[in-house]
Structure 1
Amino acid sequence: MSEDAILPGATLGVMGGGQLGRMFVHAAQRMGYFTAVLDPDAASPAGLVSHRHVHADYLDDRGLAELAQCSAAITTEFENVPAPALARLGELRPVSPGAAAVAIAQDRLLEKAHFVRCGVPCAPHAAIETQEQLRAVDASLLPGVLKTARLGYDGKGQVRVQNREELAAAWQGLNGVACVLEKLMPLAAECSVIVARGRDGAMVNLPPQLNLHRGGILAVTEVHPDNLPASRGALAVESTRAIAQGLDYVGVLCVEFFLLADGSLVVNEMAPRPHNSGHYSMDACDVSQFELQVRTLAGLPLVQPRQHSPAVMLNLLGDLWFAQGDAEVAPPWDRLLALPGVHLHLYGKQSARPGRKMGHVNLTGPSVRAVRKTALEAASLLGIEAF
């Protein structure tokens, strides 16, 4: 434990009031901390449950000063919090992750350069920031995926292109902003690893997570010893630790990977925060990703999490509220909660809309077979496509 550890009874601040902030606040409060949230939305999920809600924009000087004044240390719950705001807060209070690491995660070009420096393989790619770079793209990168360098998440700012004509049209459609073109690779699976690193360099990790995305949004995560080949899972953990170490990172970091058809592993992207794919840890591990976030922020000891149950996580998008038509109707929670090993987490959002993350369901049980069986029953009840 750090000599300047922040002990329960202090106030921990968080930039951002979404569901990740809400779950951080719950974890901090359970451990005896007070909490403060800065978010411009008066009805933000985290702001509604925090001891204090600083209702301000992320670059508002008065709001930042208020958050710093009432908080012993500050974290962030999403990667698009302006890095300058974190830098400003960092002059006044311990901030983790720091502005420099968040700035790299906010820019795909900087991110990929960091992966390369750490010796972690990426998919073949090229920067496209000018017409000259567009014309010079190597033909071997097509077909590919054109992604905006900044402000892309959950499949936003991404266009699949088959040839140069589609590439040029896609770049124009993205308003000619800085982009990266990635070669389309033959995928066998997608996976992720979450690590937590303290100010003293201590690092622990959650088990590798097997992920299924639909429409660019995470739909299902499965975590158990047989979800990935052991050697690939170990490599993903080793690579994630190297990426965190190279950033001198403090906090919780998620790194996503592609497992290719030939068995090789390439890194996709990183998120400087807890991640949807780690939500299962709330019910299947003795230390969740959100408790790890509290521990890294407060300088408390990091202990290696132990997964005590096989787990499946189902993401609950707002589409499920409109399964019967245009009217918003809540899913059948009573029938869902009649199933064994179901843990329902709703985020307190006041209205549903298609694509909006409304909550998640964790399923745990005595065996992989039992958990998958119940998860498929739950998916059927909720109107989620089988997996």
Structure 2
Amino acid sequence: MSGPKVLLPGATLGVMGGGQLGRMFVHAAQRMGYFTAVLDPDESSPAGRVSHHHVRADYLDEIGLATLCGHAQAITTEFENVPADALARLAQHRDVAPGAAAVAIAQDRALEKAHFVRCGVDCAPHAVVTNEEEVASVDDDLLPGILKTARLGYDGKGQARVRTRAELRAAWEQLGRADCVLEKLLPLAFECSVVVARGHDGAMVHLPVQRNLHREGILAVTEVHEGCIPDAQAHRAIAAARRIADGLDYVGVLCVEFFGLEDGSLVVNEMAPRPHNSGHWSMDAADVSQFELQVRTLAGLPLVQPRQHSAAVMLNLLGDLWFARGAAEATPDWAGVLALPGAHLHLYGKLSARKGRKMGHLTLTGPTPAAARETALAAARQLGIATF
């Protein structure tokens, strides 16, 4: 293929995957005047239901991929487990961002850790374990640790905390003897993430550093305002995220997650080759959202540094909230929540709720960090979300 070209509004942009990230990408693209096409096998996928075209096919289906190419002039992905091979096939005919090679690295924790090391970015002490000998020979200093499957883990799935060698072996067996990475448990002070966007020409911009709180492996709260994490660590996180993106020759939106340690140091945790849950606040509190950045990188449009105009706190809305009043599914009190100043409700169009399922998010903005946080705590009390 020839080099990437600028696609102006009126062109059709494609996305692999029909979940909520795809839905928000589609909305951003449509707002800017683009047509959209989604490939997802689920006929009721959130993105497919709002797109101009919905190709209902498996991600490796040849006819489905050809149909998507027939609709779209450039194609992106909305979740990291889209087969890298599918992206490689698409790239034979269309501009694809991010590329298959970068996504393949993000899909494998062992490759991901090796990439971080190559980029000179600190990560937790770790070991790759793929067989009984490697399980038996791990360094004692890595325990206690977290054993994570090398592939297909997300939102806390595919991982287990282990304190002893016996627990390590049992956890590896429970994970189906899959290839894994054992990471040393570190004394955490906070978690944070950086969303960067990198263009075909290497130009790069970023969102402010986001402070995150996870519960049971799922993001629960993101706070973004000046001083939410120490300046020195914020600067290091941004610099590290940029090195990671440059090292991949990345094109698109990339989120890099970090651990801030009690001794003031910072280590990288993992990366996601797509917009990220922790960046959703940017739709309401910045002049350019992560999804507009995704559109711009895919279409070859200029990248401008986003400016945050309001302090923000984002609450994830899990399906548990629909069952807060008992076993029967019941709609939360959205009217009460929307009576709060600075409340921005985003529901993802999923047809049924279940516990642990991401159904939407709520962003609370305010003129000061204290005001945004106070309103977010009021919303959490109203919805039955644990305080933070």
Shorter-chain TM-score: what band?
Answer: over 0.9
Structure 2 contact 147–183 (Cα < 8 Å) conserved: yes
Say which is worse superposed, 293-302 or 365-374, in terms of deviation: 365-374
Taking the TM superposition and a 5 Å limit, the aligned residue runs for 1:180-329 are 180-329=181-330
* Residue identity matched to 1:217: I
Match of 1:46 in 2: 47
Displacement after TM superposition at 1:69 (Å): 1.2
TM-score, length-normalised on structure 1? 0.99
The equivalent residue for 2:386 is 385
Number of aligned residue pairs? 386
Farther-moved stretch of structure 1 (13-22 vs 365-374): 365-374
Long gaps (5+) in structure 1: none
Please give the alpha-carbon distance, in whole angstroms, between the structure 1 residues aligned to 2:36 and 2:118. 37
CA distance in 1, matches of 2:251, 2:231: 27
User: 1:325: Cα distance to partner?
Assistant: 1.1
- Unaligned 5+ segments in structure 2 are none
Measure the CA separation in 2 of the matches of 1:4 and 1:74.
13
Q: Alpha-carbon deviations, 1:250-284, whole Å to 9, x = none? A: 00000000000101000000000000000000000
Residue 244 of structure 1: CA displacement?
Answer: 0.0
Q: Report the AA paired with residue 226 of structure 2.
A: P
Q: Does 1:68 align with 2:73?
A: no
- C-alpha separation in 2, matches of 1:47 and 1:111: 30
One-letter amino acid of the structure 2 residue matched with residue 252 of structure 1: V
Mapping 1:96-107, distance limit 5 Å: 96-107=97-108
Report the Cα distance in structure 2 between the residues aligned to 1:3 and 1:223, rounded to whole angstroms.
Answer: 34
TM-score (norm 2): 0.99
* 1:111 matched residue in structure 2: 112
Structure 2 residue 157 is matched with structure 1 residue 156: yes
C-alpha distance in 1 between matches for 2:93 and 2:79: 21
Residue in 2 that maps onto 1:171: 172
- Deviations along 1:285-318, one digit per CA (max 9) or x if unpaired, are 0000000000000000000000000000000000
* Match status 1:55 vs 2:43: no
Counterpart-to-counterpart distance in 1, 2:204 and 2:97:
14
Q: Give the aligned partner of residue 121 of structure 1.
A: 122
Alignment partner, residue 354 of structure 1: 355
Distance in 2 of aligned mates of 1:294 and 1:93 = 15
Q: Would you say the 8 A contact 2:4–2:95 is kept in 1?
A: no
User: Which 4+ runs in 1 deviate beyond 3 A?
Assistant: none
CA 1:320 to 1:56, structure 2 compared with 1: closer, same or farther past 3 Å?
A: same
What one-letter code is carried by the residue in structure 2 that aligns with 1:122?
Answer: C
The structure-2 alpha-carbon separation of the partners of 1:4 and 1:321, relative to structure 1 and needing over 3 Å to count, comes to same
Q: Encode CA deviations 1:297-351: one digit per residue, 9 max, x unaligned.
A: 0000000000000000000000000001110001100000000000000000000
SS of the residue 2:95 aligns to? coil
Contact 2:253 2:297 in 1 (8 A): yes
SS in structure 2 at match of 1:245: helix
Instruction: Give the Å deviation of 1:3.
Output: 7.9
In structure 2, give the amino acid aligned to 1:362.
Answer: T
State the AA in 2 paired with 1:88. R
Residue by residue, what CA displacement relative to the aligned partner does 1:85-142 show, whole Å, maximum 9, x if unpaired?
0000000000000000000000000000000000000100000001111111000000
Structure 1 vs Structure 2 CA RMSD: 0.7
Structure 2 residue aligned with 1:330 = 331
Q: Distance in 1 between matches of 2:165 and 2:51?
A: 50
CA distance in 2, matches of 1:307, 1:35: 28
Q: Residues of 2 paired with 1:277 and 1:61: CA distance?
A: 34
- The amino acid that maps onto 2:19 is G
1:4 Cα deviation from its structure 2 partner:
2.0
